[in-house]
Structure 1
Amino acid sequence: METSTYQDVNQQVVERCKGGDNRAQYELYKLYSKAMFNVSMRITNDYAEAEDVLQEAFISAFKNLHSYKSEASFGSWLKKIVVNAAINAIRKRRAELVPMDERIAGEVADEPSDEEDAAWQVDKVRRAIQKLPDGYRVVLSLYLLDGYDHTEIGEILGVSESTSKSQYSRAKKKLLEIMREPQFAA
């Protein structure tokens, strides 16, 4: 049994979609919509906008399915479409990245750990991330939660790698400030 070649488990469904099968499109939607909504929500931070982005991304994916070459999983190909659509939605809101100032971009020490319940900590971080300005939240989400490196983030956002790193550093600092606010510290 050869295991060196990549085989997407959903390739048959994708091929049926390419053939115009509407049921296959619905199958792909059911398989990926929840995960892709979560990606969109992390970037847009707005439920209705995340839903719109999700729908636009799936429409775009189905229209451009012929360009999917099966070199990576369908999910990773679709995720790129969702990320780009979410970034475009934010740009439409005219969100701007904070200007880079290399002199103040430094490493941030990790927040001291405490004895609180892990589930509460996760909720605390999630709520704090939602309070970040768009530019910070996008870079932080793409880097920490979606696994992009700063070069890729720079390409996605149309900024330099150093700007992405600076935004990430500032996002961490701001996140710590938010988490130290009285409503989060309790």
Structure 2
Amino acid sequence: MEKCKTGHRNSQYRLYTLYVDAMYNVGIRMLGNKEDAEDIVQDSFVDAFKNLSAFKYESTFGAWLKRIVINKSINHLKAKRIPVVPMDTHEFQLKEEVNEKVEAVAIKNVKAGIDKLPHGYKQIINLYLIEGYDHNEIGEILDISPSTSKSQYHRAKKKLVGIIKTL
């Protein structure tokens, strides 16, 4: 890391190869578009290497870089005027099935279900379930309150369950 901070290109390339695939996966989950994800990841690495002096080892480099990728992805979506978290545009009437038998769900069905979610719900599910952010962090990332993040997550999860049942 210290060599990267001094501009050592081989060290930067090694760091890049360690993290590029993981960051691409983050980008593709956030943006849903291969070309946009590739652009965002490249821009994120450029910014990260330009600003390595700001990296203070308070987290891992991967966590710091992932935050850059997520923030750039959200800014990209905002620039395209795609709503990040639609609040009132989707109303679903879901019935609670408390005593329903729990079934194993294939990963491919979960992925397919996530792909069918409205974009804002997809972001919340990805940030919470896949990226592992808590609701306070999601609130900061998306510029919403933690309670809004929680309610959107629960709505998204219910919608996801409904979608998966139809697959």
Structure 1 residue runs without a partner (length 5+): 1-13
The structure with more radius of gyration: 1
Partner of 1:37: 24
Shift of 1:106: 9.4
Structure 1: how far apart are the matches of 2:48 and 2:96?
39
Of the three residues 103, 106, 109, the one matched with 1:124 is 109
Structure 2 residue runs without a partner (length 5+): none
Say if 1:160 and 1:109 are closer, same or farther in 2 by CA, change over 3 A: farther
Say if 1:32 and 1:107 are closer, same or farther in 2 by CA, change over 3 A: farther
RMSD, aligned CA: 2.4
Check if 1:76 corresponds to 2:76.
no
3-state DSSP of counterpart to 2:58: coil
Q: TM-score, normalised to structure 1's length? A: 0.79
Number of residue pairs aligned between Structure 1 and Structure 2? 163
Partner of 1:24: 11
Q: TM-score, normalised to structure 2's length? A: 0.87
Quick one: which amino acid aligns to residue 37 of structure 2?
Answer: A
Partner of 1:6: none
Shift of 1:108: 6.3
Say if 1:105 and 1:23 are closer, same or farther in 2 by CA, change over 3 A: farther
Q: Deviations over 1:21-69 (max 9, x none)?
A: 1111111110000111111111111111111111111111011111001
Q: State, as a whole percentage, how many aligned pairs show the same letter.
A: 45
